[in-house]
Amino acid sequence: MNSDADFAVFTRANDLGETGTYLGVPLDVWHPFAGACVQHSTPSNLTISGIRRALRETRPDVIYINSLLSRKFSLLPLIAARLERCRARIVLAPRGELSPGALGLKRIRKKIYLSALRASGLLRNVVWQASSPFEATDIRSAMGNDADIVVAADLPSMPLEPSPRREKAPGEARIIFVGRISPMKNLVGALAMLRPLSGKILFSVIGPVEDLDYWEACKRELATMPENIRVEFAGPQKPQNVLASLSNFDVFFLPSLGENYAHVVFEALGAGCPVVISDRTPWKDLAGKGIGADIALERPELMSAALQKIIDTDEADHARMRHAAAAYARSLLEDDKDIRASLDLLGIRRR
């Protein structure tokens, strides 16, 4: 959208879970990158005063906050904007943090935090981004019927062209899981649903360990997996490597407790990789489209059955699913309604 707006991005100087800063990147100063101005901030600059200074330097018409529950990237910007008496439109994207599944984790702590945040008045006049009508319901349930909500789907990354791959043999499958190792992504549930499957199976897990206690629970599940299922943990990977990997797998599997959008589902489809996911995302009627399945978490046996069906397919049937998945992703990119909705969300008129 940078033909319609000028973007300034205030973010960290390091990836999630890492302490080392990016190499060769200017720190705590604005610098041009990908058509925007970006400031990679060190911890000493991730403060109310640092954010106030960034607001004075950029004088934004719109402040877009990419989380609700992040202290540094939601609470501090809200306070800084109030102290600066900003007249900017404040758009807050909760990113699925208000879904029942997300609110059920650390429930008491989140309930207290949200109650205090509402009472503080910092959320007054905030415009909420819902990535789907599904998420709009969650926001209204948590924030009240008077919440100002605009439905604007997340804008997906451009998918890579699917790379050449080996033929799909019946009775074999390469299954991939991409996501943070945390309760929301439900890797423990995924392993349990894999256990009854027959055939020669490779299950590859890509993503950073975010919750060490949960990772211990995952390792206990891994120790009980049957011999026909080989599990490999690849850890965190660069985004371009993940995109390149997806087309080499037969199915993407994510029984998540809730997603406001799930970019990786779009990326898998764009790579020609069918998906089997929970029904707690905006991606619906995948079976009807011939590109996978979206199934209630309360029916794990159906999730297993959907995976087994893909395991049993031959190359001809699987090729039809791959082509349908890639075609569906292309059709979403060709429709600019999501870009128009994002412009409306930000209150931007096209130049």
Residue 209 near residue 145 (C-beta atoms within 8 A)? no
Predicted pLDDT of residue 158:
63
The CATH number that applies at residue 253 is 3.40.50.2000
Q: For 165-198, how does the pLDDT look when each residue is reduced to its tens digit (9 = 90+)?
A: 889 999 999 999 999 999 999 999 999 999 999 9
Q: Is residue 351 part of a domain?
A: no
Helix (H) or strand (E) holding 193: helix 187-194
Q: Is residue 320 part of a domain?
A: yes
Asked if 127 and 196 sit in the same domain, the reply is no
Model confidence, pTM: 0.74
Asked if 59 and 111 sit in the same domain, the reply is yes
Predicted pLDDT of residue 136:
94
By mean pLDDT, which of 50-59, 113-122, 158-167, 317-326 is the weakest? Answer: 158-167
DSSP SS3 for 91: strand
Asked if 278 and 299 sit in the same domain, the reply is yes
Q: For 223-236, how does the pLDDT look when each residue is reduced to its tens digit (9 = 90+)?
A: 999 999 999 999 98
Q: For 11-53, how does the pLDDT look when each residue is reduced to its tens digit (9 = 90+)?
A: 999 887 778 899 999 999 999 988 899 999 999 999 999 999 9
Predicted pLDDT of residue 159:
59
323 vs 316: CA distance, rounded Å: 11
Count CB neighbours of 17 within 10 A.
10
- Side by side, which strands form the sheet with 292-295? 229-235, 200-206, 172-178, 251-254, 275-278, 292-295
Tokens of 295: 């199934």
322 vs 313: CA distance, rounded Å: 12
Q: For 310-337, how does the pLDDT look when each residue is reduced to its tens digit (9 = 90+)?
A: 999 999 999 999 999 999 998 887 778 8
Asked if 148 and 179 sit in the same domain, the reply is no
Q: Is residue 162 part of a domain?
A: no
Asked if 17 and 41 sit in the same domain, the reply is yes
Q: For 65-99, how does the pLDDT look when each residue is reduced to its tens digit (9 = 90+)?
A: 999 999 899 999 999 999 999 999 999 999 889 98
Query: What φ, ψ does residue 9 adopt, rounded to 5°?
Result: -115, 120
205 vs 228: CA distance, rounded Å: 17
Predicted pLDDT of residue 162:
64
Q: Is residue 163 part of a domain?
A: no
Does residue 238 carry a pLDDT above 60?
yes
Asked if 181 and 322 sit in the same domain, the reply is yes
180 vs 187: CA distance, rounded Å: 9
Asked if 50 and 137 sit in the same domain, the reply is yes
Pairing of β 200-206 and β 251-254? unpaired
C-beta pairs of 27-32 under 8 Å, 24+ apart in sequence: 30/57
Asked if 186 and 69 sit in the same domain, the reply is no
Asked if 176 and 144 sit in the same domain, the reply is no
When pLDDT is cut at 50, 70 and 90, the band that residue 117 belongs to is: very high
Asked if 179 and 115 sit in the same domain, the reply is no
Asked if 177 and 96 sit in the same domain, the reply is no
Count CB neighbours of 274 within 10 A.
25
Asked if 188 and 149 sit in the same domain, the reply is no
Q: For 245-264, how does the pLDDT look when each residue is reduced to its tens digit (9 = 90+)?
A: 898 999 999 999 988 788 89
Mean predicted confidence (pLDDT) in 292-306:
97
Distances (CA, A) of 155 to 224, 297, 335, 341, 342: 39, 26, 11, 10, 8
Boundaries of domain holding 281: 172-334
340 vs 335: CA distance, rounded Å: 10
Does residue 160 carry a pLDDT above 60?
no
Tokens of 38: 């970006």
Residue 203 near residue 230 (C-beta atoms within 8 A)? yes
Number of domains comprising the chain: 2
Predicted pLDDT of residue 161:
64
